[in-house]
């Protein structure tokens, strides 16, 4: 019995969904990761308050986390309403969004090309490739899967618009694009991708001029430019943008060339994947030359075959172009590359490979079945690899330990692993990892800060002060180091100096309840009772169930004590990602 087209599409969608469930079913048992998920969820008072009018206004206006992505914040607030603090629920939301993205990608490729198996394979690679695990299994990367939903919706809307160019249909494209930008600014490259789709598979460049197609997308380009400006301001304000003095442009260019080649390599052979890849600052010239030669060679081969296989040219330009915002020419964060950055770009590489392989066998008797069998085998082989990669995200300890095992000189992984060990009161092992992080990167303020905390716990106050001072020297705006140093000074009886550091820290983090509580303790010991009470009340406004602040306020409003209960210690510090 011959299967009709609609049934084939349903069967393919079912297979794709099953593949996603095989890889990601396990996430329902995962914990929150202590890497940015405090910033986005577990220690974010606005998100923890759930959906509310105040939360809605905050989401629309905040530049927290170095981005303007209000829909991402709102989606996490909705998860808070639905799941409370059950991490598995948050993970499942991300999986469902990812599955929807893959199915939409499949449907839009079918609509644009009419090719079933090629569209299914590209969608399959998108859904189960190990490089995409980070975007799905890391709740803090909700912005990837959420913006992906609006990216795919924009493509679907554009396919409808091309079939019948009406203003109403175009406005749907604009709407989905705006929603995508409100989820993650990396969506800025969408107008360029629409131009590539005009080239292939839509073939609009044969019927219209490039100028006219550019003019058609002018509103989208304007929105991209506006979003880029907002993003740069947000990341600059969050001190995430590296200066040219810290990282010269020539070194950024070298890393960009190597990163493109590394992304290619990890697409083909996805092993030794890590949540963080340290930036080497300057790659050896030989590696840059080899990487550049590979990219040029592939580009030449694709250019020479652009007329016979336009799909390969379109896919290659998609891959290259959509990576531009995160390739490091404007360096944001301290990573050399990141798996999450491939969420959209990998689609382009998949199109190049899948359609290109199909066109290679034109004229052969088994031109349909052979490529399909090969790609089917590849997808089956990727399932256990992706399953294994996903399992490393089950908790913080597993994630950071795996990164140390598969990368070299990973100072951030050592620091964050040390923080988890410190939580488990394994102080000696934690100190070993903090010191290793400092050995790798002597100007790493986070590790100095954490070593100071270890010394404080061991009552080695003088040694602790040395580490805290170094952390503050390296990063003068580090409110975490200033909080801890101020706590140490307060304990050493240097209340006046401690108060000065608390005030500096509050400039950077005015909504930190721990800071307000601890400065109140210092102020009280210095005789400034009224100001201390103001800070304690502010701490309780920020965190109503803050026990230390409540106890201190009760004491302060009943009597004038010679001392208050000890101040709350600052949180263990980990470097965050972007």
Q: Can you give the pLDDT at residue 31?
A: 98
Share of the chain above pLDDT 90, in %: 78
- Mean pLDDT value across residues 256-268: 98
The secondary element (H helix, E strand) that includes residue 557 is: helix 547-558
Q: Can you give the pLDDT at residue 365?
A: 64
d(CA 370, CA 359): 12
Local confidence band at 568 (pLDDT 50, 70, 90 cut-offs):
low
Local confidence band at 562 (pLDDT 50, 70, 90 cut-offs):
very low
Local confidence band at 238 (pLDDT 50, 70, 90 cut-offs):
confident
Q: Can you give the pLDDT at residue 575?
A: 54
CA neighbor of 97 nearest in space, from 211, 179, 213, 29: 179
Residue pair 548/518 in contact by the 8 Å Cβ criterion: no
Q: Can you give the pLDDT at residue 563?
A: 46
d(CA 425, CA 120): 50
pLDDT at position 302 over 50: yes
Residue pair 492/456 in contact by the 8 Å Cβ criterion: no
Q: Can you give the pLDDT at residue 47?
A: 97
Q: Can you give the pLDDT at residue 576?
A: 52
Q: Tokens representing 153?
A: 């919706």
pLDDT at position 154 over 80: yes
d(CA 555, CA 192): 63
CA distances from 189 to 87, 97, 177, 309, 333 (A): 32, 21, 10, 23, 20
pLDDT at position 569 over 60: no
Residue pair 402/274 in contact by the 8 Å Cβ criterion: yes
- Express each pLDDT in 17-67 by its tens digit: 999 999 999 999 999 999 999 999 999 989 999 999 999 999 999 999 999
pLDDT at position 577 over 70: no
- Mean pLDDT value across residues 359-366: 68
- Express each pLDDT in 456-474 by its tens digit: 999 999 999 999 999 999 9
Q: Can you give the pLDDT at residue 556?
A: 85
Share of the chain above pLDDT 70, in %: 94
pLDDT at position 129 over 70: yes
Q: Can you give the pLDDT at residue 1?
A: 35
pLDDT at position 571 over 50: no
- Could you give all domains of the chain from N- to C-terminal order, each with its CATH number? 5-397 (no CATH), 398-558 (1.25.40.10)
End-to-end CA distance of the chain: 52
pLDDT at position 225 over 70: yes
Q: What are the contacts of 195-203 at 24+ separation with CB within 8 A?
A: 196/314, 196/317, 196/318, 196/321, 197/112, 197/155, 197/158, 197/314, 199/310, 199/313, 199/314, 200/310, 200/311, 200/313, 200/314, 201/112, 201/113, 201/311, 201/314, 202/112, 202/162
pTM: 0.93
d(CA 118, CA 351): 8
- Mean pLDDT value across residues 326-349: 95
- Express each pLDDT in 531-550 by its tens digit: 999 999 999 988 888 989 99
Q: Can you give the pLDDT at residue 4?
A: 59
Helix axes 87-113, 5-24, angle to 10 degrees: 150
- Express each pLDDT in 464-517 by its tens digit: 999 999 999 999 988 889 999 999 998 898 988 999 989 988 988 888 899 999
pLDDT at position 239 over 80: no
Q: Can you give the pLDDT at residue 240?
A: 76
Q: Can you give the pLDDT at residue 380?
A: 98
Q: Tokens representing 484?
A: 């801890």
pLDDT at position 570 over 60: no
Q: Can you give the pLDDT at residue 455?
A: 97
Q: Tokens representing 445?
A: 């303020």
pLDDT at position 364 over 70: no
Q: Tokens representing 320?
A: 């290259």
Mean pLDDT computed over every residue of the chain: 93
Q: Can you give the pLDDT at residue 561?
A: 47
CA neighbor of 362 nearest in space, from 311, 295, 298: 311
């Amino acid at each position: 019995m011959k299967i009709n087209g609609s049934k084939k599409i349903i069967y393919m969608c079912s297979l794709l969904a099953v593949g996603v469930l095989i890889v990601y079913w396990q996430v329902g048992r995962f914990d929150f990761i202590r890497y940015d998920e405090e910033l986005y969820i577990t220690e974010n008072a606005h998100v923890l308050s759930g959906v509310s009018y105040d939360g809605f206004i905050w989401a629309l206006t905040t530049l927290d986390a170095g981005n303007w992505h209000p829909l991402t914040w709102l989606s996490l607030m909705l998860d808070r309403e639905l799941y409370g603090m059950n991490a598995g629920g948050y993970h499942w939301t991300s999986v469902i969004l990812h599955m929807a993205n893959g199915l939409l990608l499949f449907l839009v490729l079918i609509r644009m090309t009419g090719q079933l198996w090629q569209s299914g394979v590209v969608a399959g690679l998108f859904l189960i490739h190990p490089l995409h695990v980070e975007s799905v299994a890391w709740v803090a990367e909700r912005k990837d899967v959420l913006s992906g939903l609006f990216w795919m919706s924009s493509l679907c809307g554009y396919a409808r618009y091309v079939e019948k160019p009406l203003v109403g249909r175009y406005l749907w494209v604009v709407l989905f694009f705006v929603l995508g930008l409100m989820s993650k600014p990396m969506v800025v490259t969408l107008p360029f991708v629409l131009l590539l789709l005009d080239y292939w598979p839509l073939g609009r460049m044969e019927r219209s001029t490039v100028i006219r197609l550019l003019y058609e997308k002018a509103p989208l380009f304007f929105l991209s430019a506006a979003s880029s400006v907002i993003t740069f301001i947000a990341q600059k304000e969050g001190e995430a943008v590296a200066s040219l003095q810290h990282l010269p442009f020539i070194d950024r260019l070298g890393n960009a060339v190597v990163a493109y080649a590394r992304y290619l390599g990890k697409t083909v052979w996805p092993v030794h994947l890590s949540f963080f890849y340290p930036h080497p600052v300057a790659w050896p010239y030989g590696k840059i030359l080899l990487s550049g030669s590979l990219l040029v060679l592939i580009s030449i081969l694709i250019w020479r075959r652009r007329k016979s296989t336009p799909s390969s040219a379109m896919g290659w330009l998609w891959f290259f172009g959509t990576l531009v915002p995160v390739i490091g020419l404007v360096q944001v964060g301290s990573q050399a590359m990141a798996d999450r950055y491939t969420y959209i770009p990998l689609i382009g590489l998949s199109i190049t490979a899948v359609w290109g392989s199909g066109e290679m066998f034109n004229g052969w008797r088994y031109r349909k079945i052979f490529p399909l069998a090969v790609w089917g085998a590849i997808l089956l082989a990727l399932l256990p690899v992706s399953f294994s990669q996903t399992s490393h995200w089950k908790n913080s300890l597993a994630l950071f330990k795996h990164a140390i095992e598969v990368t070299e000189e990973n100072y951030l992984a050592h620091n964050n692993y040390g923080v988890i060990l410190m939580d488990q009161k394994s102080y000696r092992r934690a100190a070993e990892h903090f010191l290793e992080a400092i050995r790798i990167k002597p100007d790493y303020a986070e590790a100095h800060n954490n070593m100071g905390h270890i010394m404080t716990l061991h009552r080695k106050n003088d040694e602790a002060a040395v580490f805290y001072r170094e952390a503050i020297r390296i990063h003068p705006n580090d409110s975490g180091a200033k909080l801890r140093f101020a706590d140490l000074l307060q304990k050493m009886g240097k209340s006046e100096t401690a108060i000065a550091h608390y005030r500096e820290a509050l400039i950077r983090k005015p909504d930190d309840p721990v800071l307000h509580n601890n400065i109140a303790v210092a102020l009280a010991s210095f005789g400034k009772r009224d100001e201390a009470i103001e800070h304690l009340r502010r701490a309780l406004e920020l965190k109503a169930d803050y026990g230390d602040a409540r106890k201190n306020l009760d004491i302060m409003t009943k009597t004038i004590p010679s001392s208050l209960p000890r101040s709350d210690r600052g949180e263990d510090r980990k470097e965050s990602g972007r």
